[in-house]
Amino acid sequence: MHNTSIIPLVACLMCVAGCGTPGDGDRGADVHTGTDVDTDALVDAGAAADTGAPVDTGADVDTGADVDTGADVDTGADVDTGADVDSGADVAWSDAGAETSVVSDIGDGDAQGCTGAAPDCAQFCGSDFKVGVATCSGAKWVCADGVVKPDCPKDTCWGAQPEGYVCEAGKWLCKPSAAHYATCPTTMCATCDGFAGLVIQGGCSCACTAGQVVCTKVAPACDATFSSDLSDVALVFPPGPCTATLAEAAAGLVIPYKVIVAQPVTDVVALPMDAGQCGQPDKSGLVPFAKVEGGGHKWCVCDAGLCMGPSGTTKTLAAGTFGGAFTWDGVNWSGPSDTGNPKGKPFPAGKYTVSLQAKGYRVDAAKGKVPFTLSATRSLVLVP
């Protein structure tokens, strides 16, 4: 026979043990749920718990069986569940046995999208005219007038375009046009950013000097032209007589030239241009090769015999202006060869082209041997 009189009492005791609310304070007595639970040690939820060992709250609590926390919880203070729990954020209490959700205060949307000092507002992308300061609206910087400067394309160049400059990748670079060289201002650019080194064009010689591109006018000597694809190096004919008599030519005309090196150029190998590789470097370190030709007539030292040729050892071209010259006696000739090739007939009166070239290569770690050619030409008129 079952004793049913004890069921209400057990149910009542279970409610006392498991149906309390956060506002219950000091229970004042032991509660028996099948085994003794020690509540003599009072719990203060508003203070840190000193258990002496980790408290396992991950285990389910079965109020129909023994409750074993593994150790007594001793905080040394009264239980005060009526006090606010300060977790650094608002706490939303859920039903007993469910997880506690924490809601953080992350502020409004503007604070997340607008950080740092407010940027300037420009009249338009590229303009250096400031029309105001941006304000934060809808989590981003906005301008009442103009545009937010950081919102402009990364390759925007700011301010008015300086004379002789072009905009590339967000920077003003000194790259003068033919029109700029035609005017040949003393200071072409205030900086050397993007400048290709020594440039001689349209009677204007420009080079980077003391952080600026400085230019000087060069009087075109006898229809002179110059070209170079070796940065910072040029081969030029200086101003001089454009006319000579046949007698002066027969006595020997000394034709000067200059090699201008704006700044040291490393890893250069200069190559002879004659057939037997006999040409030798001049004071600049290059090996200029001269010709006079026109109207079916030609003079050069194209064949000086057979030589060993250059060693291929790289050298550095020192900065400076190096003068040189070659002598022409007014006749047709291709050089002595190794057979004593005789000289030919004199050039008749007329207009001829005097040219000078220097070739070689520069050793580049990434590209290997990069060839270069420097050229200069001028005219020469022979008169009776």
Q: What is the pTM of this model?
A: 0.53
Cα–Cα dist 136/115, whole Å: 9
Query: Between 251 and 87, where is the model more confident?
Result: 251
* Cβ atoms within 10 Å of 243's Cβ, excluding its own: 12
The angle subtended at Cα 336 by Cα 335 and Cα 339, nearest 5°, is 140
What type of residue sits at position 263?
Answer: Q
pLDDT tens digits, 282-301: 999 999 999 999 999 999 99
Tokens standing for 233?
Answer: 């190096």
Fold type of domain 221-383: Immunoglobulin-like (2.60.40)
* pLDDT, mean of residues 211-224: 84
Q: Hey, where are the domains in the chain?
A: 165-218, 221-383
Query: Between 68 and 352, where is the model more confident?
Result: 352
Which segment of 60-69, 310-319, 374-383 scores lowest on mean pLDDT? 60-69
Does residue 65 register a pLDDT over 90? no
- Tokens 């057990």 belong to 10
Which segment of 71-85, 163-177, 328-342, 366-380 scores lowest on mean pLDDT? 71-85
